[in-house]
Structure 1
């Protein structure tokens, strides 16, 4: 029997698609937002993480909470200020929910939170599983703190599921439009050595995983939310150009040029993360998009003139 799902970060890329898919599955959906008066298709409760405020009706409403809140990692350069924002926006939002859930009568059955494969740091071509050692760069630190915060929900007897998301592919935002832009302009090229692994997941598969975590009580703990076949940056760029029917003309974009443009944030595109989907596959979950080509075709086939 579908229930009521409360989503933090609901207006983001994954939040919007997940909301649509939940509605299609017969769920009711509400978002937590700083500005609930903004016109939204969804029921919206007010919260203000910086002020430590949350509408208690939100907690009474929810059967499950999906946590996607957090400042975008790729939206702007990583100044010290921005790095603080990236970290604190994730920790504080979960702490606020934890406090609200600790102090209220509620019927929340589970807490499903995003994390990211950034936790593994730059791990070369080593295949990383959920048990692998963590990296020690900024993003790895953020992901560790994020997961520690989410896991506190477990102590409230809430079934807690944490998804380490790979690069979520969507034409509506995230990395894919950024990578497609130069390819469209016939200026596509691998980044850095091009040998770095990219562990990706189609946005619909990512959302289906969140829905699966709501519906299947056997899911608990940490899972890599990545498709089963990661590719190198060079392969990714080549397949993208192929699907878009564009030539790849440029040699590789050197790492130093990317560092100049992006500063420390270049870690996001230059780090190599080859991440295993085995644990998810063992739950019996089937991906709609196992291979990159299928995923890219789902976005760019319709666009061809």
Structure 2
């Protein structure tokens, strides 16, 4: 099968490409950097620029599935200008692909898009699933709403739309985990705030396996891409320290300190999202790393 991927050179995209090539799929990918365009037997790059509305029409030829991962990194200080970039990098890219699919004859049957868990209300006790209609009133929640709306337009073309609302992705190659590991390795690690905030997470191998599963099962609709066992920030911090055989002796880091350091982006450290993975489990998907202990052990053995 030929699959078109946006964000293929990012942390998740890179691992997903490896898996899809192992499964003997052919991968086309879109990149804004002409220097990253490669032309191999089963892996071919095409140029696009969503800001300028430019895209190489050839990227869609013979493609059956689109995987949409592109979006500006949210782990940077949120200036007003960067907030706009976070939104537009997701919505303009979706619109550009939609217009391409609408214009050029194609065989696209499904689009699978990354999405976020910020859309859910804050919770320390209630577990939220995909049927929840209440949403949080925050910048990131608004980003997710606009992001998903931009992808839902593909329904009007008779294309299945699958959205994977992704929790904290655990990888030793990038993302949040290495940043948590650094101070713990130095013996100055500590939980954030009360440490009681719930963090719904997923091992990167399980996440890319879920994308492949969504292709194989032609999934449609919204799914929480989170492990079956969400944990508190305190438990996560302790699990990392235990695996690294490092002590935790400092008091928890106050929220106001991180807000001074990071600004509004500090929300990412203190947000509490208690989410269910029952829907994806009910489809037959199996997690390889369902507990934080085996996830951390695998990444930092």
2:271 is matched with 271
1:95 is matched with 95
- Whole-Å Cα distance in 2 between the matches of residues 125 and 258 of structure 1? 24
1:62 is matched with 63
1:28 correspondence with 2:26: yes
Shift in Å, 1:272: 0.3
RMSD of aligned Cα (Å):
1.1
Specify every segment of 5 or more residues in structure 1 that has no aligned partner in the other structure, as ranges: none
Where does structure 1 differ by over 3 angstroms across 4 or more consecutive aligned residues?
39-42
| SS of match in other structure, 1:50 | helix
- Whole-Å Cα distance in 2 between the matches of residues 267 and 114 of structure 1? 20
In structure 2, which of residues 2, 5, 22 is the aligned counterpart of residue 4 of structure 1? 2
Alpha carbons 1:48, 1:54 under 8 Å: kept: yes
Deviation digits for residues 238-292 of structure 1 (CA, Å, limit 9, x no counterpart): 0010111111121100111111111110111101001100101110100000101
The residue correspondences of 1:1-305 to structure 2 (distance < 5 A) are 3-38=1-36, 40=38, 42-74=43-75, 76-132=76-132, 133-217=134-218, 219-301=219-301
TM-score, length of structure 2 as denominator length: 0.96
| SS of match in other structure, 1:115 | strand
Alpha carbons 1:121, 1:271 under 8 Å: kept: no
Alpha carbons 1:121, 1:139 under 8 Å: kept: no
- Whole-Å Cα distance in 2 between the matches of residues 92 and 121 of structure 1? 26
Moved more, 140-149 or 57-66: 57-66
Moved more, 282-291 or 42-51: 42-51
Shift in Å, 1:39: 5.8
Specify every segment of 5 or more residues in structure 2 that has no aligned partner in the other structure, as ranges: none
- Whole-Å Cα distance in 1 between the matches of residues 190 and 30 of structure 2? 40
Alpha carbons 1:199, 1:273 under 8 Å: kept: yes
- Whole-Å Cα distance in 1 between the matches of residues 297 and 287 of structure 2? 15
Aligned length: 297
Alpha carbons 1:121, 1:134 under 8 Å: kept: yes
TM-score, length of structure 1 as denominator length: 0.95
Shift in Å, 1:36: 3.1
Alpha carbons 1:122, 1:135 under 8 Å: kept: yes
